[in-house]
Amino acid sequence: MSESTTRLAIVTGGNRGLGLEACRQLAQKGYRVVLTARSADDAKRAAASLKNDGSVRPEQLDVSNAASVQAFEELARAQLGPVDALVNNAGVSLNGFDLNVVRGTLSVNFFGALRVTQALQPLVADGGNIVMVSSGMGELSAYSGALRARFLDPALDVAGLLALVGEFESAVAAGTHTAQGWPSSAYRVSKAALNALTRILAKQSARVHVNSICPGWVKTDMGGRSASRTVETGAKGIVWAATLGSDGPHGGFFRDGKAIAW
């Protein structure tokens, strides 16, 4: 990938599903794309399946592994230059519901996006975009009023959010999460926390746009064959948010470029 004036996008979980398609669409729009994947071989294979003109660069990045994120941050600082779009796409939807599922889900869907964003946000260019690939499942109607109010509290900061997520984990461990008003879904809580992170980061930085998007129910390994949307359609909303101009929305939640409720 040659250094140039071309805009640069970094996508996590770019080896398959929505991440791979977002890489394809971004490259088609003329971006240099760093396609990252948990496995270096998967990243190489996926990049090779896309536009083969050197505009898609494969790199290893396991968002749930602090050492991997640090190594990628060092590479980005040394070799990539200003980042125009960071797409936090990597995600898991694990079967079942217990403490292991909660920890495994949060470590990718919430802590992974937090870790990657904290590492790379300083490298994002003024007016650049950070996209949190969230889900309609992150909406807050299934929570107790008290928890909903805490998620939506305008004074919530990252420390407060970490404490809130920690309370969920502790409540699951103690078997009291339902009584406390939490849903029995690690995925829902991970995406609600990701959305809260979007609101917090957006408030903290006017320099960079931060938005959450829901791709809809998409035919991928995660969404399954019965899903209503193609991967092309689902990724379009991600790419929309990744390519917003400096006058674009900030701190919102969108599906197909239209605002939806938290």
Task: Give the residue numbers marked as catalytic.
Answer: 187
Which one, 19 or 128, has the nearer CB to ligand NAP? 19
Shortest distance in whole angstroms from residue 65 CB to ligand NAP: 7
Which one, 75 or 125, has the nearer CB to ligand NAP? 75
Shortest distance in whole angstroms from residue 211 CB to ligand NAP: 14
Shortest distance in whole angstroms from residue 123 CB to ligand NAP: 18
Cβ 114 vs Cβ 69: under 8 Å: no
Which one, 91 or 183, has the nearer CB to ligand NAP? 91
Which one, 112 or 252, has the nearer CB to ligand NAP? 112
248 DSSP 8-state letter: S
* Token representation of residue 118: 């904290």
Residues in contact with 44: Cβ distance below 8 Å, sequence separation at least 6, in sequence order:
58
Give the up-direction half-sphere exposure of residue 3: CA atoms within 13 A in the CB hemisphere.
6
Using a 10 angstrom Cβ sphere, with 0-12 exposed, 13-18 middle and 19 or more buried, the burial of residue 193 is buried
Shortest distance in whole angstroms from residue 114 CB to ligand NAP: 13
Residues that bind ligand NAP (CB under 6 A): 12-13, 15-19, 37-39, 42, 62-64, 89-92, 108, 112, 133, 135, 214-215, 217-218, 220-223, 227
Cα 149 → chain centroid: 23
| Pairwise CA distance, residues 38 & 7, whole Å | 24
